[in-house]
Structure 1
Amino acid sequence: MNETTQTQGSLRSEARIAHGALHRLRQDLFIGAFAFRPMPPLEDAKVSRWVPWLPERLRYWARWLPHFAVGFFAFCVFLATLADIEGGGSLRGLLTTGFGAVVAAGPLLTLFRPVGAYWLSLCAFVVSVVVHAGFSSPFSSVFGELAFPAHLAVMVLVVLRTRPRLAIEMWVVTFATAAVLTALLGRDAGDLPPVAVFCGVVLVSAAAVRAWREERRQVVETQTVTAEERSRRTLLEERALIARELHDVVAHHMSVIAIQAEAAPYRVKDTPPELATSFSTIRENAVAALAELRRILGVVRSEDPDAFVEHDPEAPQPTLAGLDALYESLRSTGLTVESVVTGAPRPLPQGVELSAYRIVQEGLSNALRHSPGADARVEISYVLGGLGVRIVNGPPSRLAKPSPGAGHGVLGMRERVQMLGGEMTADHTEDGGFEVAAFIPVSSTAGETTTGGRA
C-alpha cells in the first residue's frame, strides 16, 4: 500500500513537472511569438569604453553596430543562396531568390521579432529538408545547404536577445521536428545525434553568455542603487548634523533676545504699559521659538541617538579660532599641515565660522585618509564680501587603504557651502593631489551685527 502511494505521488510530481515545462514552452514560444520587440542601440557608455578612439560624430552610428552586423550577416546568407545557381532557367533563379530571401529574413527579423524569427527560420528549414530529401529535381540542391546553418544562427541570436532557457526549448522543438521528418521521409538518422550535440553545445554557450550579461547588468544596477542610497543617506546625515549645529547657533541668539526683552522694562524708569507689553510679546515669541527648535532637534536626534557619544552636547560649537588645536591634533597623527591666513581677520557670523571649521576639518580628514604621507596646506582668506577657504594636499607617498565612504565628505562640504549661498570646487590636482576651494559670502551687515553681539 505504501509503495503504491509513493508511486502515485511520484507520478503526480512528474506530471506537475511536465505540465510546468509545457506551460513555460507555451509562454515562451507560442504566446506573443510575433510581438514587436526591437533591439535597442548600445549605450553611450559602452561605445565610449569599447571605441574611445572613435570621433564624436561617428560614435552615434557606432551605437547601431550590432544591427549593422546582423544585417550584413543576413545579406551574406542571401548572396550565398544566390551563388548556388549553376545555370538553369528563370524558374530556378526565381525559386532560389525567393528561398534565399526567406532564409535571410530569419536573422534580420531577430532585431524586431526574435521568437517570430525562430518560427520563420524553422519553417524554411523544414521546407528545405522536404524539398531536398523528398523530391528528385534539379532545384532540390538549392534548399539543402544554407537553411540549417542560418537556422542555428537564428537560434543563437534569439537566445542572446531573450532569455537563456529558450536555448533548451528551441533545441527540443528543432530536433524533435527533425526526428519526425527523418522518420516520415524514411531517411537514415545517423547524422542527427552528432549534429544535435553540436547545436546543443553552441546554444548552451550562447545561453551562458546571455546569463552572464544579465547577471552583470543586475550587479551594475545593484551597485548603482547602493551608491545612490549611500550618497543620499550620507547627505541626510550631514544635513542632520548641520541642523543640530545651527540649533546651537540660533538658540544662542534667541536666548539673548528673550533675556534682553525680559530685562528691558526694568532698565527704563516709568516704562509705558504699551512698551512693556511689546517686550513681553517679544520674550514670549522668543521662548516659543526656542521650544520649537528643541522639538525639531529632538526629531532630528531621534534618527541618530548616539550622535554625541564622542562629543559633549553642552560644549560650544567650534570656530576658526579653534583651527590651531585641530592642526596640532592632526600633526600628532603624522600629517604635515601648513596654515596660511591672508587678509585682516575679523569676526564673522557664528554659522559661517562653524561651516568653515567643518570644511577644513573634513578636508584634512580626507587628506589623511586618502593621501597618506602627503603634506596639506590650509589657506584662510578674509576678503571683501566673504571668506575663502582652500585645502590642498599632495599625492600620497604610499598606498591608501580602501574606504567605503570615499567621496561622501565632499557632499557634506558642498551642502554646507550651498546652504550659506557660497560656491565650492573639489577636484584632483595635476600632481595627483586633491584640492577643495570654497567661498562663503558674508555681508557687512552680518559682520557688524556679530561684532556688536560679541561686544
Structure 2
Amino acid sequence: MTSVEPERPRPLLATASHRWVRLLPWGLAFVLCVALLPTTIRVLTVDYGLNAGVASLLAVAQSAPLLLAVTRPLLAWYVIFAADVAGALALLSGDYGERQEWPFPPMQIVGYIGLCLALGLRESRRTLVLVWLATAGANVGLLYVAPDRVNDRSVLLMILGGVTLLITGVLRERHEVQRRLTEQETISEAERGRRTLLEERARIARELHDVVAHHMSVITVQADTAEYRLAELPPEVRGEFTSIAATARESLGEMRRLLGVLRNEETHGEVAPQPDLAQIGQLVAATERAGGPVEFTPCDADVPEAVGLSAYRIVQEALANVVRHAPGAATRVSLSLSDAGDRLTVLVVNGPPPEPPAGPLEQSGTGHGLVGMRERVRLVDGTFEAGPLPDGGFRVAAHLPLNGKDPG
C-alpha cells in the first residue's frame, strides 16, 4: 500500500507570470528578517534593558518566522504572535521610561505588518477576522495588565494590523474573482466551440442520412424488381437479389434507428433535396442582392453528393462571413476541377470592405463558422485553408477529393 505525500504549500505569488514577482515575497521576507533581527536585539538590550540572552531569544522568535510566512503565513503568525505577547510581558521587568513604546516596540510592529501582508494574501476572510480579533484582544489585555504604561500609541499595532489585513484581503479576493471570471470565460469559449462542432456534426449526420438513405432505397428497389425487369433469371440469381434487397432494407432500418434521434420536431421541415453545386449560383445571387459584388466561376462537373453538399455549405458559410464582417467587399467564388479530374477546389476570396463596419451586422453568431467548414472538409477527407490577406481581405480554400481521398 503506497502512502500519499501531502501537497507542499505554494509560496505567495507563485502563480505570477513574471519571475521577479514570484521572488518578491522571498526578498521582502529576507530583508525584514536580516534587518529586524539585529535591530531587535540591540533595542531590547540597550533601550529596554533586557538580558542579552532573553533579547536574542525574543528577536529570533519574532523575526525568523517571517521566512516561513512566505509558504505558511498562519503557522508563522502563531509563533510571532506568541513571541510578541511574551516580549511585551518581558518588557514589564525592564527599567525604561515613558520614552519607549509599550507593549510593542517599533521593530515588532514592522515585522507584524509584514506578517499581516502575507496573511491577507493567503488566508480566508474568516481567518483574517480571527487574527485581528486575537491581536485586538491581546492588545487590550496587555493594557489592562499595565494601565500605567498606556499612551496614545498603545493601540498602533491593532490599528495598522487591521488596516493591512483589510487591504490585502480585499486585493486577494478581487484577484481571485478576476481569475475565476477569466477561467469561466475560457471554459465558456471552449464550450461554445465544442457545441458548434457538435451541432455541425449533427447536421452533417442528418444530411449523410439523407444521402445514404436515398442510395440504399434505390438498391432495395432495384433488387426487388430485378426478377420483373430481367427475364429468365436463374433461381440462384433471383435468390441473390432477394438477399440483397433484404440486407439493404435491414441496413436502412438500422441506420434510421441510429440516426433517427437527430430528426426531432425541429427538423421535420428538412425534407427538400439536399443542395449541391447547381444551387451555389443562388447563394451568389443572394449575396449580390445584399449589396456585395460577387464574381462567380461555376463548375458543371458531376461530383458525388457528399462533395457537392460540402462545397455548397462551405460557400454558404464563407459568403455569410463576408456579409457579416466585410459588407460590400468585392468577392470571388470559384469552383474548379484539378487537371486530373479527381479533386474539386472551392475558393472564396473577398477584399477589404469599402468602409470599416461599426460592428458586426449579426450579434447572435457563434463565431465558429470555420469549425463547421473544417468539419465539412474532414467529412470527405479533403484539405482546408483559411486566413486573412495582406490587403485586409480573407481567403477560404477547400480541396475536396472525388474519390474519397485527397491526392494532394
Aligned partner letter, 1:428 = P
The answer to whether residue 23 in structure 2 is matched with residue 68 in structure 1 is yes
State how 1:304-343 maps to structure 2 within 5 Å: 305-307=265-267, 313-340=270-297
2:11 to 39, 43, 53: 39
Q: d(CA) in 2 for partners of 1:306 and 1:437?
A: 32
2:187 to 225, 229, 235: 225
Q: Which moved more, 1:427-436 or 1:112-121?
A: 427-436
State how 1:271-310 maps to structure 2 within 5 Å: 271-302=233-264, 305-307=265-267
Shift of 1:323: 0.9
1:381 to 318, 336, 356: 336
Q: Is the partner of 1:243 in helix, strand or coil?
A: helix
Q: d(CA) in 2 for partners of 1:377 and 1:192?
A: 81
Q: Which moved more, 1:274-283 or 1:390-399?
A: 390-399
Name 1:162's counterpart in structure 2. 123
Change (3 A) 1:95 1:392: farther
Where does the alignment leave 5 or more consecutive residues of structure 2 unmatched? 1-5
> Does the CA contact (< 8 Å) of 1:235 and 1:412 recur in 2?
yes
State how 1:199-278 maps to structure 2 within 5 Å: 199-278=161-240
Q: Is the partner of 1:373 in helix, strand or coil?
A: coil
Q: Deviation per CA, 1:143-202: give whole Å up to 9, x if none.
A: 833222221221221121122332222111111112112222343153244653443233
The answer to whether residue 86 in structure 2 is matched with residue 114 in structure 1 is no
Aligned partner letter, 1:333 = A
Change (3 A) 1:201 1:278: same
Q: Is the partner of 1:171 in helix, strand or coil?
A: helix
Name 1:359's counterpart in structure 2. 314
> Does the CA contact (< 8 Å) of 1:132 and 1:144 recur in 2?
no
> Does the CA contact (< 8 Å) of 2:344 and 2:400 recur in 1?
yes
State how 1:414-453 maps to structure 2 within 5 Å: 414-443=374-403
Shift of 1:271: 1.1
Change (3 A) 1:213 1:280: same
Name 1:105's counterpart in structure 2. 64
Q: Is the partner of 2:136 in helix, strand or coil?
A: helix
Change (3 A) 1:419 1:111: farther
Q: Deviation per CA, 1:93-133: give whole Å up to 9, x if none.
A: 88776655544433322332221122122123223323344
> Does the CA contact (< 8 Å) of 1:77 and 1:146 recur in 2?
no
> Does the CA contact (< 8 Å) of 1:345 and 1:382 recur in 2?
no
> Does the CA contact (< 8 Å) of 2:200 and 2:372 recur in 1?
yes
> Does the CA contact (< 8 Å) of 2:40 and 2:59 recur in 1?
no
1:123 to 82, 86, 97: 82
Q: d(CA) in 1 for partners of 2:68 and 2:390?
A: 52
Change (3 A) 1:170 1:444: closer
Aligned partner letter, 2:378 = Q
Q: d(CA) in 1 for partners of 2:364 and 2:180?
A: 21
Shift of 1:299: 0.7
Name 2:372's counterpart in structure 1. 412
Q: Which moved more, 1:278-287 or 1:113-122?
A: 113-122
2:95 to 136, 147, 150: 136
Q: Deviation per CA, 1:341-391: give whole Å up to 9, x if none.
A: 5xx753211101101110110111122112333333223231144222232
Q: Is the partner of 2:106 in helix, strand or coil?
A: coil
> Does the CA contact (< 8 Å) of 2:221 and 2:245 recur in 1?
yes
Q: Is the partner of 2:346 in helix, strand or coil?
A: strand
Q: Is the partner of 2:397 in helix, strand or coil?
A: strand
Where does the alignment leave 5 or more consecutive residues of structure 1 unmatched? 1-33, 48-61, 447-455
> What percentage of aligned pairs have identical amino acids?
35
> Does the CA contact (< 8 Å) of 1:378 and 1:392 recur in 2?
yes
Q: CA RMSD in A?
A: 3.3
Change (3 A) 1:398 1:67: closer
